[in-house]
Structure 1
Amino acid sequence: MSKARRTAEENAHLDQGVHTDPAALEELTDAASSEATEVGADGAVAGYRAGRTLRLGVELRRQLRRRRTQLVLGFVVLLPLILVAAFEIGDASPNQRSGGFIDLATASAPNFVVVALFVSGSFLLPMVVALYFGDTIASEASWSSLKYLLSIPVPRHRLLRQKATASALLSAMTVAALPLVALIVGIIGYGAGEAISPTGDAIPFGRSLLAILLGTGYIIIQLAWVAALGLLLSASTEAPLGAVGGTVLVSILSSILDQITALGDLREFLPTHYSFAWVDLIATDIDWANMASGVLSSVVYATVFGLLAARRFATKDITS
């Protein structure tokens, strides 16, 4: 008798015995239950490490391959070129040395960078941050992949942290790309001159680079409240568009209320009140008070929204 045939007959005999002999079934059950599953000191299955799940590098590469990330980065890189084309079509004079920020855009490369940050600070940059953070959890839920990530298992707090960290790095990279590209385009188009403020102050090119670096850092920190709010809404809904749109809507509403002078000192409690405090860096005598208030305001809002996001995600019933 061949080995294959003998094995098949033994299996058939075993199956028949299991179905007809309760004692055999009980014996097999006891044998299976006696096989000990090897576990670690923390109670987890041996070999499982929570720190090895959803690694940051993997999540970053995954996000960078997404079309929306590539489109956002591409638009940010193209924005300075669009501004140059607009100034060329218009009547902007490269010798302009007075007026507002827009009038001074073509005076030098630093001024061009300041204008690029100024025109994008009200809507574009908050929208970019809202897109990265508002989409991060809600998109997984909309794809019905969130429950599978948690069943790997990826601990909830780690999943939220890794997603938020990847979104923060993407946001910082996108925001930083704007002044970098604008500086290169400005040097080519308008030269490396002094940075001139609407008040008439002029600072050397070297110091203006430091001012741009500090200003970019301030913008990233100031947008932390947008990031935390987007994360909260993303953890609260399965609709990415709703999370992103809700975050942008709150930002726009805060900016509108900030324009109502009748609110008086109450405007200082709005998260967008100090959004443009970084322009004080383009001055010979820098006033740090507004920037310090802006950092404090953003950190407080970001902390509150971040804690709410963590609590919401930790207690949420994940069904998708």
Structure 2
Amino acid sequence: MSRADLSLLGNEVTTTFRRWRTLALLGVLAAVPVLVGIAVRIETADGGRAGHGGGGPAFISQVTNNGLFLVFTSLAVTLPFFLPMAIGVVAGDAVAGEAGPGTLRYLLVAPAGRTRLLLVKFATTVLFCGAATLVVALSALAVGAVLFPLGEVTLISGTTVSFGEGLLRALAIAGVVALSLVGLAALGLFVSTLTDSGIAAMATTVGLLITVQILDQFPQVGAVRAYLFPHYWLSFADLLRQPVYWDEVLRNMGLQGLYAAVFGSAAWARFTSRDVTA
């Protein structure tokens, strides 16, 4: 990567993460583990057990025994909606948000080059996937350490591992969750190339997200469900087994790669043939 490419990427990352909208999204994501942790603490204040009735998100019954499980619980809570919604907003606004006010034409006159500019915007969105996931994980770890004890981690399979290994698994899970959002990032970027309205692109991306997640709940759609990008999102739980079950995790990674290739190519075809300089 040339110095000009790094400079363009640095400028795009700085611009994206300095927006008040981006900071607000990260703030909301950081607040979710706080709310979950306080809710569990209040529920178990009288000696009860969180999720004892079988309700609540995955791993919540283990939070009172080990604060590290608040990381897994918070990721399970935010992954169906909060995290992907944030990604949808950033990805949907990536191109359309600059096309509307005319900023995009000046970027291309610079010249940045359409392919290079699109790659930079996709890379920035993927970096936001990682940053958003890390914000949730770090917030949950801090809140878990304050409100609950920390120690050895009992995995889903019943095996007990050290706290250090538990942290490494939490880091691996955060990485898997971040990569799980890459397909949505590519879809949002493609939608962003179709319009000059950032709000329309963001709303369309989030609308598609909700629609696909609803479809994924219906067994009647049969084999199609396995090709919906959120279908394997919660497969990260398999990293908490000993040995690790890799099948669905790898299917998830392959599916996200497929979406990134298909919608990334569609975004490139649209963006490179679109008249944005008129």
- The residue identity in structure 1 corresponding to 2:262 is V
1:161 is aligned, of 111, 116, 119, to 119
- Which segments of 5 or more consecutive residues in structure 2 lack a partner in the other structure? none
Corresponding residue number in structure 2 for 1:77: 30
Q: Is it true that 1:266 corresponds to 2:224 in the alignment?
A: yes
Please state how far the C-alpha of 1:302 moved relative to its aligned partner. 1.0
Q: Is it true that 1:226 corresponds to 2:179 in the alignment?
A: no
2:67 is aligned, of 106, 109, 129, to 109
Corresponding residue number in structure 1 for 2:19: 66
- Which segments of 5 or more consecutive residues in structure 1 lack a partner in the other structure? 1-48
Q: Is it true that 1:55 corresponds to 2:8 in the alignment?
A: yes
- Give per-residue Cα distances to partners, 1:217-252, cap 9 Å, x unaligned: 111111111000010011111111221222222222
Which moved further from structure 2: 133-142 or 167-176? 167-176
1:256 match: secondary structure:
helix
Corresponding residue number in structure 1 for 2:105: 147
1:236 match: secondary structure:
coil
Considering Cα pairs closer than 8 Å and 6+ residues apart, tell me whether 1 or 2 has the greater RCO: 2
1:131 is aligned, of 89, 102, 125, to 89
Corresponding residue number in structure 2 for 1:39: none
Please state how far the C-alpha of 1:267 moved relative to its aligned partner. 1.6
Which moved further from structure 2: 211-220 or 199-208? 199-208
Does the 8 Å contact 1:179/1:216 carry over to 2? yes
Corresponding residue number in structure 1 for 2:208: 250
Q: Percent identity?
A: 32
After superposition, the Cα gap between the structure-2 partners of 1:122 and 1:94, relative to the gap in structure 1 and judged at 3 Å, is farther
Does the 8 Å contact 1:195/1:204 carry over to 2? yes
Does the 8 Å contact 1:202/1:283 carry over to 2? no
CA distance in structure 1 between the aligned counterparts of 2:201 and 2:7, rounded to whole angstroms? 23
Please state how far the C-alpha of 1:195 moved relative to its aligned partner. 3.4
Does the 8 Å contact 1:195/1:282 carry over to 2? no
The TM-score, its normalising length taken from structure 2, stands at: 0.88
Give me the CA root mean square deviation: 2.5
Corresponding residue number in structure 2 for 1:311: 269
1:55 match: secondary structure:
helix
Does the 8 Å contact 2:180/2:233 carry over to 1? yes
Q: Within 5 Å, give how 1:281-300 maps onto structure 2.
A: 281-300=239-258
2:110 match: secondary structure:
coil
After superposition, the Cα gap between the structure-2 partners of 1:94 and 1:254, relative to the gap in structure 1 and judged at 3 Å, is farther
Count, aligned residues: 272
CA distance in structure 1 between the aligned counterparts of 2:12 and 2:23, rounded to whole angstroms? 15
